Amino acid sequence: MSRVTLPHDAKAGPTKPEVRAVTLEKLDLRPTDHFVDVGSCTGSVSIEAAQRVKRVTAVERKAKRLEVARKNLAANEYDADVALHEAEAPAGLPDDADAMFIGGSRNFEAVLDHAVESEIDRVVMNVSRVEPTGAAIEAFRERDLLDEVVQMQVSHGYELAGATSFKSNNPVYIIVGRRDAGGLN
């Protein structure tokens, strides 16, 4: 497994490496998994998943972003079978996925409904805006998916006058769902 390379950028920017690392840890991917990336954007999560699972489906409503993901995938090594769908989820979502990542809050209730109906085992959603975070946690809870919520804040050091100052990314919420989860402790 080598680190992810993202030579091509989309306007919205990729999930930051540290948030992506925690997201993947929470997705708990297994070699036999079919993983679905909802709103795949630059493809950064799809790429890393493709290095860990058997099959990846990336769904993205914007043709341009899908093209960026395609190019970024081509720049990385992986063994998985990867399909890219230009569609606005829940359209284009497979019915046999084991794990799902939702990178944005668009249509998230319908996407979660699909996750429940297709009996997905694990689903992780990242949100940074606070109103949809609250709404998303409630949607996970109502669907018996809610397993964990993590707020993560990352700051990067830079050199200032010979010592280390920090520039902080915005805080991100990582909502972790599992089928028949018992809710937060």
Where on the chain is the footprint of a copy of itself (CB under 8 A)?
Answer: 1-3, 17-18, 20-22, 24-25, 28-31, 52, 128-135, 137-138, 148-161, 163-171, 173, 183-185
Which residue lies nearer to a copy of itself by CB, 63 or 158? 158
User: At 108, phi and psi to the nearest 5?
Assistant: -65, -30
Minimum gap (Å) between residue 132 Cβ and a copy of itself: 6
Per this entry, what is the length of the chain? 185
Minimum gap (Å) between residue 68 Cβ and a copy of itself: 20
Minimum gap (Å) between residue 77 Cβ and a copy of itself: 11
CA-based angle 181:184:185, to the nearest 5?
115
The residues, any chain, with a CB within 8 Å of residue 82's CB and separated by 6 or more, are 46, 50, 55, 56, 57, 58, 73
Which residue lies nearer to a copy of itself by CB, 5 or 117? 5
